[in-house]
Amino acid sequence: MAVMDNAVYVDGVRAAEPPSLQHTFELLHNQDGRGMAWIGLYSPGDEEITSVASEFGLHELAVEDAVKAHQRPKIERYGDTLFVVLRPARYVDRDEVVEIGELHVFIGADFVITVRHAVKPDLALVRHRLEGQPELLRHGPDAVLYAILDSVVDDYLPVVSGLQNDLDEIETQVFGGDPGVSRRIYQLSREVIEFQRACEPLLAMLESLIGGVERDRTDVELQRRLRDVADHATRVAERVEGFRQLLTNILTVNASLVAQRQNEETTRLTETSVEQGEQVKKISSWAAILFAPSLVGGIYGMNFTYMPELDWRLGYPVALVLMLLVSLTLYLVFKRRGWL
């Protein structure tokens, strides 16, 4: 169903709910400029958008943007029609992600047409709240645009809170040594950048709207309300810019901590390797010391008949002394080199 809501307002009061767009056009013509039509479209087809564009004289470029979507936030004027593109946002607690939507608004002297391509934002709440303020709705399309802008900016606040919670969790992960935190930092950085692209252009758009209201109209209340929305949007933009800088700093700190942990691990492995080398030196040294007596004893134990020392009375003591001297000499050499 493309037409989500369709009503004609007179003096700030919902006067009629036409069953079709054609009835809306006819009722609006009968009001002689005293009424206002507010038509809400959701993913409209060619028939609906062509009918509306033809009746209200919407510019073909604006209509093309509204149909194709994927536009940046902007405000453009085509003759007497104002075309506004907004990027509403919401924070999904379950998945801890920011979803960015898109909303197109056509504002004329006696009509407001909203076109959206996603379920959110639900403009029924905006319409209901504004219908409860007939003195404000009496200002016509400008009041509707204000209410939509106010709702979009108000919906940014929960997103800011959600991002703040994510940042706090990431800081804990970074200093806790969580190896998977880098991926989350990059993901949150992308979300913050997309959110910044959605909210930052609103500042210039609101400034332009406030200037237009001050130039063309004298209603002080509407000016004051738009300035309030601009103040909220400015605070949101400042917070988001702060998030972006903080994420950059967190990424740098995380890289430093990862490098530090890698250096510590490398140092530990090096120390372990050195310690193992020392143990190998000690084992090799004792093996050499023990090998010397074995060598002498092996030669002495051959026991051939014709050997020079076999009939020598001092042969055995000399062999023992030789073993001891060789072992002692090796021990002193290894000890001096620090192997033992």
- The 3-state DSSP class for residue 213 equals helix
- DSSP 8-state symbol, 340: -
Measured from the Cβ of residue 304, the count of other Cβ atoms closer than 10 Å reads 6
Say which residue, 212 or 303, is predicted with more confidence.
212
- Same structural domain for residues 164 and 51? yes
Residue 170 lies in a domain: yes
Q: Can you say how many angstroms the Cα of residue 149 is from the centroid of all Cα atoms in its chain?
A: 24
Residue 308 has pLDDT above 70, yes or no: no
**CA–CA gap between residue 58 and residue 64 (Å, rounded):** 10
Domain boundary, last residue among 227, 259, 291: 259
What is the pLDDT at residue 301?
A: 61
User: Which pair of tokens denotes residue 179?
Assistant: 């190896």
Q: Specify the pLDDT at position 193.
A: 92
Residues 292, 198 share a domain: no
* Domain identity same for 214 and 305: no
Query: At residue 81, does pLDDT exceed 70?
Result: yes
**Residue percentage of the chain with pLDDT more than 70:** 89
The region that residue 162 occupies, defined by phi over 0 for left and psi between -120 and 50 for alpha, beta otherwise, is: alpha
Segment 102-124, tens digit of pLDDT: 999 999 888 999 998 877 777 88
Q: Reply yes or no on whether the pLDDT at 6 is more than 70.
A: yes
Question: Does residue 86 sit in the same domain as residue 219?
Answer: yes
**Residue 297 and residue 253 share a domain:** no
Residue 150 burial (CB count, 10 A) = 19
Query: What pLDDT sits at residue 218?
Result: 46
Closest C-alpha among 243, 233, 239 to residue 188: 243
Q: Is residue 173 located within the same domain as residue 298?
A: no
- Give per-residue pLDDT as tens, 53-76: 888 888 888 888 888 878 889 999
Q: At residue 217, does pLDDT exceed 60? A: no
Q: How would you classify the pairing of strands 103-107 and 89-92?
A: unpaired
Tell me: do 223 and 287 sit in the same domain.
no
For residue 36, is pLDDT > 50?
Answer: yes
Calpha distance 32→37 (Å, rounded): 12
Which tens digit of pLDDT belongs to each residue from 172-204? 888 887 777 888 888 898 999 999 999 999 999
Residue 271 lies in a domain: no
Domain count, the chain: 2
Question: What CATH number is attached to the domain comprising 331?
Answer: 1.20.58.340
Query: Of 33 and 93, which is predicted with more confidence?
Result: 93
- Buried b or exposed e, range 111-140, using 16+ CB within 10 angstroms: bbbbbbbeeebebeebbeebbeeeebbebb
What percent of the chain is modeled with pLDDT above 90? Answer: 26
At 282, list the tokens. 């000690």
- Which of 208, 231, 259 is at the close of a domain? 259
Residues 147 and 287 reside in one and the same domain: no
Residue 139 domain-assigned? yes
Residues 237 and 294 in one domain: no
pLDDT one-digit tens code per residue, 128-142: 999 999 998 988 898
Q: Is the pLDDT of residue 283 over 90?
A: no
Which pLDDT does position 195 carry in this prediction?
93
Please indicate, yes or no, if residue 272 is contained in any of the structural domains.
Answer: no
Whether residue 98 contacts residue 90, with contact meaning beta carbons closer than 8 Å, is answered with yes
Q: Quick one: pLDDT at residue 180?
A: 77
Q: Are strands 35-42 and 97-100 parallel, antiparallel or unpaired?
A: unpaired
User: Are 293 and 251 within one domain?
Assistant: no
User: What is residue 198's predicted lDDT score, i.e. its pLDDT?
Assistant: 92
Boundary (domain end) residue, out of 226, 259, 292: 259
Q: Is residue 265 part of a domain?
A: no
Do 130 and 179 lie in one domain? The reply is: yes
User: Which three-class secondary structure state does DSSP give residue 88?
Assistant: coil
Q: Reply yes or no on whether the pLDDT at 306 is more than 60.
A: no
For the cut 60, the answer to whether the pLDDT of residue 24 exceeds it is: yes
Residue 252, domain CATH: 3.30.460.20
Q: Are strands 35-42 and 111-116 parallel, antiparallel or unpaired?
A: parallel
Q: Are residues 230 and 111 in the same domain?
A: yes
Where does the pLDDT of residue 216 fall: very low under 50, low under 70, confident under 90, or very high at 90 and above?
Answer: low
Residue 154 belongs to some domain of the structure: yes
Residue 142 domain flag? yes
Does pLDDT of 258 surpass 90?
no
**Read out DSSP for 95-124?**
TTEEEE--EEEEE-SSEEEEEESSS-S-HH
Reply yes or no on whether the pLDDT at 305 is more than 70: no
What residue numbers bound the domain in which 304 lies? 277-336
- Exposure letters 70-85 (e unless 16+ CB within 10 A, then b): ebebebeeeeebbbbb
The residue whose two tokens read 């960015």 is: 100
In a domain, 205, yes or no: yes
Q: How many angstroms separate the CA atoms of 62 and 55, rounded?
A: 15
Q: Can the peptide bond before residue 121 be classed as cis, meaning omega within 30 degrees of 0?
A: yes
Q: Give per-residue pLDDT as tens, 262-275.
A: 777 777 877 777 77
